[in-house]
């Protein structure tokens, strides 16, 4: 992270979901790279607890959080298309494209980002297990400072720094996204089993764009 802050000064962003253990990555940014803008994608379907948690951590850590939302509101989406996450793989893909991928790409473009830091860990999904600490995604440098951290290291850091979990963590929500696609899990389950949006267990933000997505974003001026 220190290397990234120096190498890409003024052209570096971080992203956060304000999820179960997001306080770790956010605390590191506040300590090591405090000038870094932090992108928070507000899909319009987050838990009330997530919005409150975001405000709490932003104030406590003095973060420079930039909130990006879909171009079309949740209410308008449902009026026009229904609840697309219930409409099979095609509906899920359309939902993710409008509510997560497009706002993130817009943020990266508007903030002039050449490099992007994210708090992914290799033990979270099969896709993340194949990532490197420094790689490339859609023409930008992608940096994963805590990629090799274990869950125990995460928990130890939270305790040592007296940082909070997401408030829903105590209720069994160990991987937290949108209200309509997040379920609590038990200790004998994979935390990502609580994320029921799409087969890959990925939200779409950390996957390379398809050719169709690149063409769509390009035609919209992004």
Give the active site residues.
203
| Cβ contacts of 32 within 8 Å, gap of 6 or more | 1, 2, 5
Q: Which long-range contacts (CB under 8 A, 24 or more apart) does 124-127 make?
A: 124/175, 124/191, 124/192, 125/192, 125/200, 125/201, 125/202, 127/200, 127/202, 127/206, 127/207
Reference 13, options 104, 129, 120; nearest CA is 104
Question: Looking at the DSSP assignment, which residues form a beta bridge with residue 117?
Answer: 14, 143
Alpha carbon distance 45, 164 (integer Å): 22
């Amino acid at each position: 992270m220190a290397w990234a802050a120096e190498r890409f000064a003024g052209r570096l962003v971080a992203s956060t979901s304000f999820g179960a253990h997001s306080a770790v990555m956010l605390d590191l940014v506040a300590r090591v790279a405090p000038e870094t803008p932090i992108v928070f994608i507000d899909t319009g379907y987050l838990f009330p607890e997530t919005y409150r948690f975001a405000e709490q951590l932003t104030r406590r850590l003095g973060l420079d959080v930039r909130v990006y939302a879909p171009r079309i509101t949740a209410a308008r989406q449902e009026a026009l298309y229904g609840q697309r996450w219930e409409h099979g793989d095609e509906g899920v893909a359309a939902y993710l494209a409008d509510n997560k991928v497009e706002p993130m790409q817009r943020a990266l473009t508007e903030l002039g980002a050449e490099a992007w830091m994210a708090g992914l860990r290799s033990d979270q999904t099969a896709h993340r297990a194949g990532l490197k600490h420094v790689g490339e995604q859609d023409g930008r440098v992608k940096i994963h400072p805590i990629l090799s951290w274990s869950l125990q290291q995460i928990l130890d850091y939270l305790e040592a720094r007296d940082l909070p979990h997401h408030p829903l963590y105590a209720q069994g929500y160990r991987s937290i996204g949108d209200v309509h696609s997040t379920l609590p899990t038990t200790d004998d389950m994979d935390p990502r089993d609580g994320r029921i949006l799409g087969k890959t267990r990925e939200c779409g933000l950390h996957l390379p764009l398809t050719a169709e997505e690149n063409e769509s974003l390009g035609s919209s001026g992004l």
